[in-house]
Amino acid sequence: MNVLYFAWVRQKVGRGEEVVEHLPALRTVGDLAAYLRARGGGYAEAFADMSRLRAAVNQVHAGPDMTLAAGDEVAFFPPVTGG
Amino acid sequence: MRTNIHIQAEDFDVSDEIEALVADDPAAGAVANFVGLVRGGDGLGALTLEHYPGMTEREIAKIVAEAAARWQLCGVTVIHRVGRLEVGGRIVLVAVAAAHRGSAFEACAFVMDYLKTRAPFWKREERDGKAQWVESRTSDDAAAERWRKT
């Protein structure tokens, strides 16, 4: 899976994107978030409070229960502030 | 229906955009537009806008399609700038052409309200030499919520 980060999430994890293998344990967006948080450091900071985060799967807004598949593009970002 | 969606660093000319939106369209009897500007006066120096290329265009296209399903429209233009913008700079244009003003006004507000809550843009403020990400506002969610069909 290609995982993208935007705004302060990108700054905290220290990169804009990375490839994460679609392990069987990573069934949902929430599973992936918990997996990334467990890496510690900037990831732990970025994923500390999931209520402050939003996600998208294949460029469509997605909740934590959205299931993942190999090859998905998954993005994590703060609530949007455009306009 | 005409749909123009642009994400760009460059500024835009509002009257040129409105003219292009209704050119050679005799059915268009009204255009409503909204222009968002970088608001200063409180120590803000500039804004930098980041977005999610690809998803941004898709989300805005979905919002425009939803507006076209609700109101009879002739055309919609959405231009959103990204990059660094100084106080007074134009951030966003939503222009809606329709046969009559009611649809144009309502659809313009609808597109703007949904853009604020769904299109993946993020603002970072420069204030007193320090950069800080702008927090989302619950009032924006409420503005979008009012369009929900019951």
Q: Please indicate whether, in this complex, the C-beta atoms of A7 and B116 are within 8 angstroms of each other.
A: no
Q: Please indicate whether, in this complex, the C-beta atoms of B121 and A82 are within 8 angstroms of each other.
A: yes
Which of A56, A59, A77 faces B122 most closely, judged by CB atoms? Answer: A77
The first and second tokens of residue A67, run together, are 């299931």
Q: Can you tell me the mean pLDDT for B89-112?
A: 98
Task: Please give the radius of gyration of chain A, using alpha carbons only, rounded to the nearest integer.
Answer: 12
| CATH for B109 | 3.90.1170.40
CB B124 within 8 A of CB B133: yes
- How far is Cα B25 from Cα B75, in angstroms, rounded to an integer? 9
Q: Can you tell me the mean pLDDT for B120-130?
A: 93
Q: Can you tell me the mean pLDDT for B31-45?
A: 94
Which of B52, B80, B134 faces A81 most closely, judged by CB atoms? Answer: B134
Can you give the residue range of the structural domain that contains B84?
2-145
**Better-predicted residue by pLDDT, A51 or B74:** B74
- How far is Cα A74 from Cα B109, in angstroms, rounded to an integer? 30
Is A35 an 8 Å CB contact of chain B?
Answer: no
In a domain, B81, yes or no: yes
Question: What count of other Cβ atoms lies within 10 Å of the Cβ of residue B21?
Answer: 21
Contacts of residue A59 in chain B, CB cutoff 8 Å? 52, 54-55, 58
For chain A, the domains span 2-77
Q: Which residue has the tokens 């799967």?
A: A57
Q: Could you list the beta-strand ranges (E) of B25-143.
A: 30-37, 44-51, 73-81, 83-86, 90-98, 121-127, 130-133
Cross-strand bridge partners of residue A67: A28
The first and second tokens of residue B82, run together, are 């990204």
Count of the separate structural domains present in chain B: 1
Q: What is the CATH number of domain A2-77?
A: 3.10.20.30
Is B124 an 8 Å CB contact of chain A?
Answer: yes
- Chain B, window 45-74: residues with a beta carbon less than 8 angstroms from a chain A beta carbon: 49-52, 54-55, 58-59
What is the ipTM for the molecules in this complex?
A: 0.95
- State the pLDDT at residue B150: 56
Q: Can you tell me the mean pLDDT for A66-75?
A: 98
Contacts of residue A9 in chain B, CB cutoff 8 Å? none
Q: Can you tell me the mean pLDDT for B44-56?
A: 96
Residues 6+ apart with CB under 8 A from A8: A46, A78, B133
List C-alpha distances in Å: B78 to A31, B57, B95: 36, 10, 7
In a domain, B150, yes or no: no
Q: Please indicate whether, in this complex, the C-beta atoms of B135 and A4 are within 8 angstroms of each other.
A: no
Q: At what angle do helices B55-70 and B101-118 cross, to 10 degrees?
A: 150
When the pLDDT of each residue in chain B is averaged and rounded to a whole number, the result is 95
In a domain, B17, yes or no: yes
In a domain, B85, yes or no: yes
